[in-house]
Structure 1
């Protein structure tokens, strides 16, 4: 009986310990399942937000392409074939330059091909070539060749996007590379011009542009045109048959279909009727293996705990202690306890990591929500829900101000290691907090950061300017010493969701429209005064190019400085000064011609210049960048052997010697040729006879002297190469319809 009672007591202790361990097991299992489910739900919601952002980016890219297509059709360069059958290369060159300028910011465009009805000349971003050679030697495809495109473009058709397909593309004229390209062509049922325009879009760059990598792991994305033809898919095995028949006929803008292992989310574009399908798994990719491993760990832990409970129960009874010693279970006991402890530690660590992932996902969701709230193309109906879900703390504020903070790398810090955007965002947030500025701060684009600051009353806006100036002064001497720091402050708005976009437009436009003469680090968007009084000396650009060709760098620099200073006095906007600098750069190259620069040298020179002026915080930095280019070209032209019988040298010589007696025999002798050949060459090259060209150069200088000097008409005639005042007056009236004296009165009166 005693032995039985002993066994019953042993069983009671064992069962009590077993119940405790089972409760622990069930609790941990529930926590494990709920944690995994919560992470998945949070990521699935984020995925839906990311997909909508991707679709918005794709629609925006199609808007940009349609706008470019219309802009190219609107360019006044139709009928490039002259009456004698030759090509008007001036039109071709201007068309190519304008097309290149239109697409300079669209990185996903591989190339643009423009050709006309009556010509096989193809105009691309990289130059001009024969249409047949372009598709035989540059973009090779077994179906989509030059004959196909000529035939397709000749037939009436709507605007169409051809599906992504693999092309053999020649790189730098030496190597072939396979690239996946989409081709978009505009419709021709209502012709805007005689141009045919093809956009070649890199599928890889396009997906990077819309940030396809941000969607949930294991998901796929497919794009269908308005006729439900597949134009792009991230998964070649994507089978539409299994879900297409389930899509109801009354599908409007969004829909969801549930499959066996996947969920299919359908979205219809409100812009062009395209359909987007996002295929996502019910669970994370590889989550089953992770869950199985976690479950195995917990089962192993419970088995060890049960064994330990049994051994511990036996050990509590002295009559059976000798049995435990005989079985040698003392060592096993210690190992089981360590195994249980190890399993618990692993579960705690795993739950901690899941919590950190939730925090990261929440931060990413807040940023995505903020960017959608300030995106002018985003659906406004979502704004109130996004604010309530991700920014509940702003409900305490009645008004707000938005601040755009921009960082521009200093030239001396260019070569140093770049600071990550996340670290810059953290530094800015900490600096604002030190100045008692409580703000929601998010990275917007490149080195621009947007701060949302709640306001209690209008007077605090003036205080904010003082705080921002103090912050920028301190940041420039500490953590952000590598950058020029500037800020623009919006007007004050109520916290209604409709005002977020307007406030962001305030600071965005304010930053780009700041005056070139304004060195204030903190700008007030309310104080921006718009002006369009730009100064661009078309009549001096030829002089600038001639001075560079002749190596007269000081005179060239003077023209550049005069132009920039004139615009500074007019208080034009910073982005307008960028356009002035770009125009002078390209006009300089156009008039000089090709100074024997290799493609790589030209690309580097152009890239360095454009990068310098885009990063410039002051107009003087743009001026120095252009002077640097002029010095480089002057040195390049000076080192080249002079070929006298070329257009640039002839124009340069006439510009520098127009005041001399440049009769035809004399000028022909200068260029070591006969008068007859020189006259024919000049007419063919410049599309104007020599005498008319010389008179136009002389009279252009005469007009400047009439406007800006007090010389008499006779003196001006002598200074511009005319033998007497009568010849000067007669020639002037022939070209301008009035006498020199009348012209002076109109200009000065």
Structure 2
């Protein structure tokens, strides 16, 4: 088959289309899975950021609650309302407040560093100490970018109501950090003028960023918190420059909850209570990690499935298109290369197969119409003795579906009387009708008897299935009854008179022509004596001084010897001798003449090329010529038997040699072509140029094995040899020994050897 034939491509395209339909569905499912995974990842990160927001705002609420508690502290209120002076300082009150606020720094990490400034005493109270000169505190704890005067002016002296100073660099005992500053003036209703006291809470950036550290540690992302004015509250994993760039980029939507910016997913949450803006950035590759796993697995599995599916599609396309292609090739060879293909190969096959079926039915109808003619021709050949063997008769009878029983019976001739010497058209038409009437009436009486016309006024009928004995009175009486009823019936209804003549019984189909000749002689005798009714040859027999050796008998003897049937040849010769010696009174001259006729028959046989080229030609010729008429009849018969045995033996030997050569040719051809999966009986018959049925029967007769069984055995023997090694798999071995299907190979191997191929290989390796 061409590597890329049209039908192969059609099969392959159909398989690819079928393969891609679930692939497209899988791709849609894959896209949905990726989108859902991405959405889930974004939702999880938004949730995590919201949780961090909630925690931070709770902590800031705790800071605010802390300032409210301080506003209610009695000791602090006393200190705030006292009039301060340099000479009188309420040290006890300051000490008492200092002790009261120590506990706060130990319970809340947002309150690790705070102080209270009393404006009336100019005192700064911390959990650890009190500073009567705030400048000294600021020398150790100070903002890097805020001078002391500015600090006092903006932080200590102004009133504050839950104010938060954005992120600033801050020095603590020489250690730099960043803090946001929460400021609240006391009392809480200090809105104008100078506050009596100010609470300042310094919240370390590290404490805030620890709430968002999971985003950086887990995802390698960043976070940024800013107040309502855009001032930075906290930074983690990003610098101010990048934050500023993000804020100034018009392509970035500040109000969108989640969006991709560059290679990061940026989540933005705005607090409704504080107005703070929480932003978190997560790298795309981290966010899509699970999705990428799904993507990798999906693409890997899909690619593998597509590759495997494509390979299977190629294999299936080849397997399914190969028989179709071979069928198309045969069709084109039969109908011509230039025959129109039609729309496609199936139309071509449908059209041609439909034509074949139509032609076959037409031929079958025509053959059925010809069957009566063929059957009639078969009967005429049978009566004329043209068949050379019983097998040939049986084959011809089967061909015409003849119901003739070949075992034994009688041959008879029915003569329609009263038309002798008349040959006008009207008479011939009347005789045709009379023959039809007689045959139909005989069928009604005797069943489906083989019959054929003999001239215009005679019908030959064969009564088969009866004992082949001359004294079989029951059979003869039954035939006489049928024929008498026939004669009476056709006479009463149509005024047709008939005479029936029958020969002696025949023992097999080869004797039918002989009994027919007897019936003909009996009919001539009946016409001679003007007898009607039924006459048997045995009743019509009279002594004669002439020998009996009719031409048809001679022809049958020659034909029988030509096919090598020694038994039938001996039977014919004995029949001739018996007929002449027992039933006739022959003179010496007639005996010599009969002997000469028999010798002449055998000399005619020697004229064939088969006998002329043989080594026994001269010997047989001399034996024939040497037969003397004046010897005993038994001696003549023995010599004739010897001559016939030699001639038939030569014929059989020649036939066997030819048969053996044909069988050897078949065996050699199978040994060469067993790998071809298309090797069959038709191909073998084509090679040896013989009919399929002939070579099938011949191979069975010579080898005792069916040809198909021999082919299977040859394939299994080669398969067994290949299974002894490990070079090929079972499927490859199946292909190498001529099987398209490994399943069929396995079944055949187990049927022939009684074991599966795999088990056989295992047993050979052990």
With the length of structure 2 as denominator, give the TM-score of the two structures. 0.34
Higher Cα radius of gyration: 2
